[in-house]
Amino acid sequence: MDKKKVLIVDDEVDIVETIKFSLELEGFECLEAHDGEEALAKARKENPDLILLDIMLPKMHGYKVSRLLKFDEDYKHIPIIMLTAKAQESDVKLGQETGANEYVTKPFDMDKLITLVKQYLD
């Protein structure tokens, strides 16, 4: 059985690294992107099974990446879990409106994140 592909998008390399480490331990294949444009390009090219998407990204905002994918018939099926350090209500609302499936506030509990990812991929 093919490994499920998770695209991890964060400009903070350390965060990508720790998530990647944890997910790979769980048997997922991980792809990385460090800005919005790269995220969009990788998502379209690799067609991942799930995307962990930071909001505050260089080049292109996480919201925009999410919206572009969610409004694209070819990619709207990909679950998106938004990660953000912002914890304002309006952010939550915006995250939901851009079509993201989940919303996780930093700092998050890695175990909870893994559980969430597994919910979408199992």
Partner 1 sequence: MFSIGSLIQYLYFNPITDSKIKVQKDPMKDQYKTKQALSKSELGKAEQALKESEKRAWSILENIQEGYYEVDLAGNYTFFNSSMSKIIGYPAEEMMGMNYRVYVDEENAKKIFLHFNEVYRTGLLSKVDYEQIKKDGSRVFVETSVALMRDSLGQPTGFRGIVRDITERKRMEEALQKSEEYFKEVTENSSDIIIITERNGNIKYCSRSIERYTGYKPEELIGSSALTLIHPDDVNRAVVDFGRAIRIVDSTIPNAFRIVHKDGSERYLEGLGKNLFTNPSVAGFIMNVHDMTDHKKAEEQIQASIREKELLLKELQASKEGFHNIVERETTGIVVTYKNGIIGFANPAAKYFINRENDELVGEQFFIPMRGLDSLTEIDIVRKDGTVGAGELQTIETEWGGESAYLTLISDVTERKVYEASLIKTAEEHKKLDELKSEFIAIASHELRTPLTSIKNAVDIMAKGKAGAITDGQEKFLSMAQRSINRLSTLINDMLNIAKIESGKMRYQYKWIDLRELLRRASNRFQPLADQKTIALCMDIPPDLPIIFGDVDRIEEVLINLVGNAIKFTPEQGTVTIDVHQREAASNRAENVMRYVEMSVADTGIGIPEEHKERLFEKFYQAAHSLEKQDQSGTGLGLAVCKGIIEGHKGKIWYESIKDKGSTFHFTLPLIDLQKQYYYLLESDLLKAKQQIEPLSILLIEVRDLAGLKKAFGEKDNDSLFERIKEKIISGGIKTSDKIAVSLPDHEIMLIMPNTDQTGVQEAQKRIRQYIIGTGEAAGKCSGFLVASAATYPEDGISTEELVDFARGKIES
Report which DSSP code applies to 85.
S
Which residue's CB is nearer to partner 1, number 41 or number 85?
A: 85
Short-list 120, 80, 84, CA closest to 104: 84
Stretch that binds partner 1, among 17-25, 33-41, 64-72, 73-81 (CB under 8 A): 17-25
Q: Does 108 bind partner 1 (CB under 8 A)?
A: yes
- Answer yes or no whether residue 21 interacts with partner 1 by CB under 8 A: yes
Residues that bind partner 1 (rule: CB under 8 A) add up to a total of 25
Report the alpha-carbon distance of residue 91 to residue 11 in Å, rounded.
19
Choices 30-38, 39-47, 64-72, 104-112 (CB under 8 A): range interacting with partner 1: 104-112
Angle at CA of residue 25, ends 33 and 118, nearest 5°: 75
**Binding residue for partner 1, selected from 15, 29, 67, 121, defined by CB under 8 A:** 15
What span, in angstroms and rounded, lies between the C-alpha atoms of 25 and 113?
Answer: 13
Q: Would you count residue 50 as binding partner 1 (CB under 8 A)? A: no
What is the DSSP secondary-structure string of 93-108?
HHHHHTT-SEEEESS-
Beta pairing, strands 80-84 & 102-105: parallel
- Sites of contact with partner 1 (CB under 8 A): 12, 14-15, 17-19, 21-22, 25, 56, 85-90, 93-94, 97, 106-111
